[in-house]
Amino acid sequence: MKYVLKKVTTMLITLFVVSVLVFFSFSLIPGNPALSKLGTEATPERLAALEHEMGLDKPVVERFGEWFVGVLKGDFGRSYSYNQSVTSLLKEKIATTLILSVMAIVICVVISLPLGIFMARKSDSKLDIALSAVNQIIMSIPSFFSGIILTLIFGITLKLFTPGAYVPYHSDFLKCIGYMFFPALAIALPKISMVSKLLKDTVIKEAGKEYVRTAYSRGNATKAVFYRHVLGNALIPVITFLGMTFADIIAGSIIVEQVFSVPGLGRILLTSISGRDYPVIEAIIRLLAFFVVLSNLIVDLLYHKFDPRIHV
Amino acid sequence: MMLKVEDLCIKIHDKNSTETVVKDVDFTMKRGDILGIVGESGSGKTMSALAIAGLLSRHNMEKSGNIIFEDINLLNCSRKVLRKIQGSEISMIFQEPLNSLNPIKKIGWQVEEGLKIHTTMERLERKERALNALKDVELDNPEAVYNSYPHELSGGMRQRVMIASAMIVSPKLLIADEPTTALDVTIQAQIVELLKKINKERGTAILFISHDLSLVNTLCENVLVMKDGLVVESGKCADIFDNPREAYTKGLIEAIPHNPFYDGKVI
Amino acid sequence: MERSKKVKFITGLVITAVVLIMAVWGMIKTPYDPYTMDTSAKFAGVSFRHVFGCDQFGRDIFSRVLVGVRETMFISACVVFIGAFLGTVIGTVTGYFGGWLDEFLMRINDALLAFPSVLLALVVIGLFGSGKYQLIVALGIAFIPSFARIVRGEVLKIRNLDYINAVKLYGASNFRILVVHILPNLKTVLLSSIIIGFNNAVLAEAGMSYLGMGVAPPNPSLGRMLSEAQTYIFSSPLAAVFPGIVIAFMILGFSLLGDTVGK
């Protein structure tokens, strides 16, 4: 319990640090957002009025205070370029990106764990060497390129999906999942190689430890030694790695959304960056930070459950 | 005879060389015997013990001779037969109790594992047996130990746990491979005493491997002295201690440090 | 080295050498001018004249790839240099002196480390706008935390060795201890981190330029060649395949080296 409390506190501190960093970096940007919003229509009066409306005339610290209170209430301000609140603008995109990321994580875990176990059991056989080589190559293919290859193979040649024809989750959830499978696979592919390779290595390392000998001395069959003793220990470093991978997967989804024209956080982040829509950029960064930190927290807690040696 | 080891040879094949680590080892043990094997590291004593416990890997190693335990030759019986004997009739404890216990499983689970494999006992009965086994090895608070993890115990407690997990199946032979080397001197004496008590009360034969001749002297009736894979001397412990024939054995005796707590006598 | 490791090391070395040759080739002279458009060669297929074919403007893809490799290697080298240099400075100072500064910087460092470098780089690009040098700064900053963490750990390890204490007893100054006794010991760990850094930098640069956040058009960049070719993927898929393969090839070389060097 103490452990959970400590981890949650660290998470909140991290989020606060990130928020402060993000807020002040964006206050330091050269250029006046009110001016860029008005563009050629700017007159000194109009500018002053808009600056007042956007709260830009107040001191930085006061603005930070207001902004922070707003964030606590779930109010992220208004978008400069779309005439709506950031919260309503991002709602649907958050769900879209989350669906994509969660699918990628599920695909990654479901494939890489059995694959790693299989490779460890066949270790040093010709099959393992071949699989390791394939793994090494897949690991080197960035997700946006594997996305293009998947589009070529499954979209254009086999016609299993129509490239670019994204279906929103609220109109047809199953069709949406069906479309998202390929982008999720593209994100997951390099991670699958990494996780399965790591699992194979840790299984082999654990299998040489002394407690394994004890397990054999009790009359365990090889399979039982593996599943009852080796696997649990071998998964501990894999869980740590998965934690980092989750963050990578969220970042990967931003890029892969672009490949498959999925209208998620990644796309709006890119348009906001080119349109200098700072409230939206800020909100997205903090949201992504929240997801990353939250996934780290979940992994920490899982880790705690798997490894009793970890104590506060 | 319960255990008969005849002409045991073990060769390890490396990539380009073959090394014979155990050469023509012969000995026998009756039920309730305590036999010590002493020698330096690399003398082949641990290899012999592992061979008897069936824990040597089957590839890159060549074993010849016979290890006959209760009329079954452990060296050429099937894996299935061997597994039936491992952990039910022959149990083993090791040098490093911390590394020899699975770090992420509770003590209770590990102590009970032998029962889970070799019997059809229900969970509650197994737990009762495990608690008794922990009590038998003189652990103060068996219930607490049952629910803790290896890293939460001291070295001496861990070795007691290992003994409990080995003894829960009431084996005929307990192989102890340097069980006290990693422990403090005072704890060493306690563990040796515990082994003695187990032998006396339950009639379990003990094969005690050590580099420490004085420990062997306090525990064992008979002893084998090994060097470079060969048995160089064997016989009654007291005879060899008082009157070593081999220069090597003399060296081992002289190497015994004079310990203020423990002077080769039973405390 | 065991055999499989040797095979990996040599393969990695050969691939990296080929990549470097391509970069140098891109620096000196390419078979065709990478900017000249030729409407007659629009989407020309693979031939002896155009080994990778031509793009939507009839520009020779192979020549553009060579220049792209050069750009990617240049950006990656700058990024790794910034990350390694500042990371080493921060890691050494915090690891050696400890105290509140260490606490404070490492808190921020760990918070940043939790974020993938592409995400951090996007934040910086969001602040400064996109372009080649902005990308270098953005990725360079994003690469500092991991170097700082690794170097700090290593410095902590070395600082507590007996011989450092002995040198202290002789009255050596902190500066001397850092420069003479600690920095040289970071070589091995830095070498492997730098190679892995290149692996990540190529990946990040390609990703960022795929998103249009890197080198500005019409200058060739491997990532943007991919995203441009994607528009025409129905008619000429090969234009996307070659730049992609080259990116993967570069990453493969560095990852093979990173797996084997210093371990």
A226-240: per-residue pLDDT in tens? Answer: 999 999 999 988 988
pLDDT of residue A312: 42
- Summarised one tens digit per residue, pLDDT across range B119-148 is 888 999 999 999 999 998 888 899 999 999
Q: Spell out which residues of chain A touch residue C244, defining contact as CB-CB under 8 Å.
A: 141-142, 145, 148-149
Domains contained in chain B, number:
2
The residues with which B8 forms a beta bridge, in sequence order, are: B25
B5 in the same domain as B52: yes
Domain boundary among the residues B110, B136, B170 is at: B170
pLDDT band at B12 (very low <50, low <70, confident <90, very high): confident
- Residue of C110, C233, C252 lying closest to A151 (CB–CB): C233
Q: Do C210 and A247 touch (CB under 8 A)?
A: no
The ranges assigned to domains in chain A are: 2-72, 89-306
Classify burial at C47, counting beta carbons within 10 Å of its beta carbon; exposed 0-12, middle 13-18, buried 19 or more: exposed
pLDDT band at A168 (very low <50, low <70, confident <90, very high): confident
Q: Does the pLDDT at position A174 exceed 80?
A: yes
Q: Does the pLDDT at position B193 exceed 80?
A: yes
pLDDT of residue B126: 93
B123 in the same domain as B112: yes
Q: Do A273 and C247 touch (CB under 8 A)?
A: no
> Looking at per-residue confidence, does B263 or B150 come out higher?
B150
Q: Spell out which residues of chain A touch residue B162, defining contact as CB-CB under 8 Å.
A: 214
Q: Do C115 and A13 touch (CB under 8 A)?
A: no
- CA-CA distance, A182 to A153, in Å (whole number)? 11
Q: Spell out which residues of chain C touch residue A28, defining contact as CB-CB under 8 Å.
A: 127
B151 in the same domain as B19: no
B27 in the same domain as B39: yes
The architecture of the domain spanning C3-260 is Orthogonal Bundle (1.10)
Residue A218 contacts B, CB cutoff 8 Å: yes
How close A234 comes to chain B (CA, Å)? 11
B130 in the same domain as B37: no
Q: Does the pLDDT at position B241 exceed 50?
A: yes
B85 in the same domain as B175: yes
- Summarised one tens digit per residue, pLDDT across range B21-44 is 888 899 999 988 899 998 888 888
- Summarised one tens digit per residue, pLDDT across range A71-85 is 777 777 777 777 788
Q: Does the pLDDT at position A190 exceed 60?
A: yes
Tell me the CATH number for domain A89-306.
Answer: 1.10.3720.10
B184 in the same domain as B84: yes
- CA-CA distance, B172 to B25, in Å (whole number)? 21
Domain boundary among the residues B120, B144, B170 is at: B170
Phi then psi for residue C149, to 5 deg, are -65, -45
Query: Touch between chain C and chain A (3+ CB pairs, < 8 Å)?
Result: yes
Q: Do A217 and B83 touch (CB under 8 A)?
A: no
B218 in the same domain as B181: yes
- Summarised one tens digit per residue, pLDDT across range A266-293 is 888 888 887 778 788 888 888 888 888 8
Chains interfacing with C (3 or more CB pairs < 8 Å): A
> Looking at per-residue confidence, does B111 or C32 come out higher?
B111
Residue burial A98-126, b: 16+ Cβ < 10 Å; e: rest: bbbbbbbbebbbebbbebbbbbbbebeee
- Residue of A218, A221, A306 lying closest to B113 (CB–CB): A218
pLDDT of residue A106: 94
Task: Write out the residue range of the structural domain in which residue B128 sits.
Answer: 100-170
B127 in the same domain as B69: no
B208 in the same domain as B78: yes
Half-sphere exposure in the Cβ direction for B3 (13 Å, CA): 32
B106 in the same domain as B2: no
Nearest CA in chain B to A206: B102
Tell me the CATH number at B27.
Answer: 3.40.50.300
Average pLDDT over residues A132-157: 90
pLDDT of residue C108: 80
B175 in the same domain as B164: no
B67 lies in a domain?
Answer: yes
Read off the pTM: 0.85
